Amino acid sequence: MSSRVKVFLDTSALFAGIWSREGGGRMVLKLGEARAIRLLVSPQVMHELEGALRRKAPQALGALALILERSGVEITESPPKETIQDVLNLVDHLGDARILAAGLTTGVDYFITLDKEHFLENRVVMESTSIPIGTPGDFLAWFQKKLKS
């Protein structure tokens, strides 16, 4: 592969990677650390992640910057308001619309999420987006297949 695959992580996927020492989310972060893939998040993801960590795992806040740096996580710019408005036709939750809009405007190859309600089980989103959307495990299977081709 000539250029690294670009992956967008939503809040749920990034939280899972930080919280769990094993599993697909952590493996995705390890691929970022090995610089095998590029990991992107939006300012909205970072805002939500910080809030989730404060509520659920305040002890992990200190390690957050280190994990993000080691994994090479890049923070994108916020998406244009017009794009967010367009995505609100697919996702009726403003925060998730901002996150999906950011993923769609950054030119990523894959959007990783664990959010079933707004993304994975939302048929309109799955059929209307131009990039694959899946769980960390789905991405790892997709990435392995891509490496073999």
Q: Encode pLDDT of 94-121 as tens digits.
A: 999 999 999 999 999 999 999 999 999 9
Whose tokens are 């939503």? That residue is 10
Selection from 3, 5, 12, 8 nearest residue 144 by Cα:
5
- Full strand arrangement of the beta sheet holding 5-9: 73-75, 37-41, 5-9, 110-112, 133-134
Structure tokens, 2? 């000539």
- In this prediction, residue 19 carries a pLDDT of 85
| 135-141: average pLDDT | 98
Domain that holds residue 94: 5-148
Rounded to two decimals, what is the model's pTM? 0.94
- The answer to whether 54 and 42 are in contact (CB under 8 A) is no
Q: How many domains does the chain have?
A: 1
pLDDT exceeds cutoff 70 at 1: no
User: Domain containing 82 — which CATH number?
Assistant: 3.40.50.1010
